[in-house]
Amino acid sequence: MTLLETAAPAAAQTPDMWSQIFVFVLATFIGLGVIRRVSRLLHTPLMSLTNAISAIAVVGAILVAGPDYPIEIRILGTIAVFASMTNIVSGFLITERMLKMFKTEHKPGEGPRP
Amino acid sequence: MSYGLVQFAYLIATALFVFALHWMNAPATARRGVYAGVIGMSLAVVATWAQPEIVNHLWIVIAVILGFAVGIPLSRVPLTAVPQRTALSHAFGGLAAGLVGAGKYYLWFGDGSDQLTPFRTTAIIAEVLLGFLTFTGSLMAAGKLQEVKWIPQRPVTYPMQNVANIGLLLLAAALGVGVVLQPLAAWAPVALAAIIVLALLFGVLLIIPIGGADMPTVIAILNAYAGLAAVAMGFVLDNKLLITAGALDGSSGLILAVIMCKAMNRSFTNVLFGAFGQVQQAKAGGEERIYKAESIEGAGQVLEQANLVVIVPGYGMAVAQAQHKVRELYDQLRKRGVTVKFAIHPVAGRMPGHMNVLLAEADIPYTDLVEMDEINSDMPQVDVALVVGANDVVNPAARSDKGSPIYGMPIIDADRARTVFAIKRSKNPGFAGIDNELYFSDKTWMLFGDAKSVIGELVKQLSGGSGMH
């Protein structure tokens, strides 16, 4: 773990604009490549899944709500934690609920699904 | 948790998110994608929360509990209400981004610190603008979809609308440039507050002129905005996990919006600034035209004798909650050896993929749901095309009538089937307000009534007659 720990937080203090933009551009290419192959049948669940994933904003919200900041700032952060958490919970649950319904031929005698 | 360990957790989470979306390429693997997403998300949350600077746990715990309390009921809405739920979640996503951006700015402003570099401040402005306009825009869209009383369903237009909207946006951008140049000036916090107000207002004004038929595109565009707001948040916080996840969401919204626009043969700008509802007025009037109506008994007999039946569902099926009756009809016909397929237009319904989800809910195997492009070549061999609550997506004027507002839009060629039955609630035109040529064709017979009850009667007719042959 010492190796990872020496990757000093000092580097995190000075934001590197270009490395961030690189990450953004490359991630967009990956996104376009992956999403283009998503089955058209699943566009509604895709949208609820990406909704849940982009609620990763919860990370930023925690970083604003959690530290020892002035109370007004923490209120903003806490509301943001609530909003993102709502998206995470409802996004993943409804995606799962919809995907469970997609199936091939219904076998007789199988009965309704749980 | 050390910096390195947190970054490592973020890296794993990023990989899991990419796999989650990759597995959505087929229904058979899609559920795996959800689990990958849940694991990635949990990892990211725990790693963030466990950092030493997070000291106020109580508030976060309460926010998380409230998130579950609201999120769980929101995940159990009826599937016909999924477009509203989706719009609402874009609103929450935009709100979170906007609040974090504003919070970070006021924090750094209070410190008087050198954190507000031009790049960061630009990212904050972008985050706040996108976040808050997505917030109110999506709330408006959700309200329209839910048919909330005080939000007009029909597009609302007024003179100079686009000029006013763009002016508003330019004003916000100009204020933004000011804040970027002078982030620590005494007036800068006020300017940011003004940007927030303008963004909130712009979101409302952007959605007011948009009608129901354009909702699939608008929801996809708002999805892209919510993703981009998360990217901007990543820039602000120097957090690569946020940048990646936001970019994945943004590209998903973009691709869906492009697919929706292509399926309507329209451009982004036309959807956002075109106010579709206006075009119809020019076409009103003209000669009275006669529909041919058919009885349930007659339709039932024709359906029974068919080899291949294609059902074309539209938003009307969702409104009437007719998908379960459709499933009964599907069963009855298949019992008689009739092949039944469903023709799915990309913009049928109120969000991308809406019809597929409703039919899957009714237990119809997804292998029988066929996309527009695939089914059109088979249409001439189809004995009966049964149109259930669809209108513009089967209007042949899109192919032939250059004056029609939907000219050039790809449609399902229901008119090329041997016989067409169209179920229609009333004799009024569809959402785009256009007369449908298909209904006056020689081979078309109308079945007037609520989709659910008409199909219910057809099922009764078919099951009642089964013993007599």
CB contacts, 8 Å: B361 with chain A: 98, 101
Q: Is the pLDDT of residue A12 over 70?
A: no
- B220 pLDDT higher than 70: yes
Instruction: Tell me the per-residue pLDDT of B2-49, one tens digit each, with 9 for 90 and over.
Output: 889 999 999 999 999 999 999 999 999 999 999 999 999 999 999 999
Whether the Cβ atoms of residue B466 and residue B304 lie closer than 8 Å to each other? no
Nearest-10 crossing angle of helices B57-74, B82-111: 160
In the stretch 48-87 of chain A, residues with CB closer than 8 A to chain B read 48-70, 72-74, 76-87
Average pLDDT over residues B319-330: 92
The residue ranking higher by pLDDT, B276 or A85, is A85
Among A80-94, B102-116, B124-138, the least confident range: B102-116
Q: Can you name the residues that pair with B388 across neighbouring β-strands?
A: B313, B423
Task: State the angle between helix axes of B354-361 and B323-335 in degrees (0 to 180), rounded to the nearest 10.
Answer: 60
Pair B439, B291: CB distance under 8 Å: yes
Average pLDDT for residues B418-442, to the nearest whole number? Answer: 76
pLDDT at residue A112 tops 70: no
Residues from chain A contacting residue B6 (CB–CB below 8 Å): none
Which residues on A lie below 8 Å from B104 (Cβ)? 64
Asked whether the beta carbons of residue A62 and residue B60 sit closer than 8 angstroms, the reply is yes
Q: Is the pLDDT score of B266 beyond 90?
A: no
Do B59 and A60 lie within an 8 Å CB cutoff? no
- Structure-model confidence comparison of residues B268 and B455, the more confident one: B455
Residue B6 CA to residue B11 CA, distance in Å, equals: 9
pLDDT at A107: 55
Q: In chain A, where are the structural domains located?
A: 39-102
CB contact under 8 A, A34 and B48: no
- For chain B, what is the mean pLDDT? 89
Long-range Cβ pairs for the range B143-149 (8 Å, 24+) = B144/B207, B144/B210, B144/B212, B144/B215, B145/B83, B145/B84, B145/B87, B145/B212, B145/B215, B145/B350, B146/B81, B146/B84
pLDDT score at B274? 59
Average pLDDT estimate for B253-276: 80
Alpha-carbon gap, residue B172 to B137, rounded angstroms: 16
> What's the whole-number mean pLDDT along residues A64-68?
94
Q: How confident is the model at residue A6 (pLDDT cuts 50, 70, 90)?
A: very low
Catalytic site includes residue B413: no
Burial class for B119, CB neighbours closer than 10 Å (0-12, 13-18, 19+)? middle
Beta strands in B249-406 (DSSP E): 308-313, 339-344, 369-371, 384-388
The pTM assigned to this predicted structure is: 0.89
3-state secondary structure of B407: coil
* A15-60 tens-digit pLDDT: 588 999 999 999 999 999 999 999 999 999 999 999 999 999 999 9
The token duo for A44 is 């509604």
Residues of chain B numbered 363-382 and touching chain A (CB < 8 Å) = 363, 365-367, 369, 371
Joined tokens for residue B68: 């579950």
> Which residue do the tokens 């919070």 mark?
B103
Neighbouring C-beta atoms of residue B256, cutoff 10 Å: 28
Q: What is the pLDDT of residues B325-357, one digit of tens each?
A: 999 999 999 999 999 999 999 988 888 999 999
DSSP annotation of B392: G
- CA distance linking residue A96 with residue B165, whole number of Å: 39
pLDDT over 90, % of chain A:
74
**Which is it for strands B369-371 and B384-388: parallel, antiparallel or unpaired?**
unpaired
pLDDT of residue B216: 87
* B160: phi then psi, degrees, rounded to nearest 5: 65, 20
Q: Is B270 exposed, middle or buried (0-12, 13-18, 19+ CB in 10 A)?
A: middle
DSSP B310: E
pLDDT of residue B444 exceeding 80, the answer is: yes
Residue located via tokens 């993929």: B353
The residues with which B444 forms a beta bridge, in sequence order, are B420
> For residues B141 and B225, is the Cβ–Cβ distance under 8 A?
no
pLDDT confidence tier of residue B404, bands split at 50, 70 and 90? confident
Among B214, B249, B392, B415, the one annotated catalytic: B392
The ipTM, to two decimals, is 0.90
Side chain identity, residue B25: N
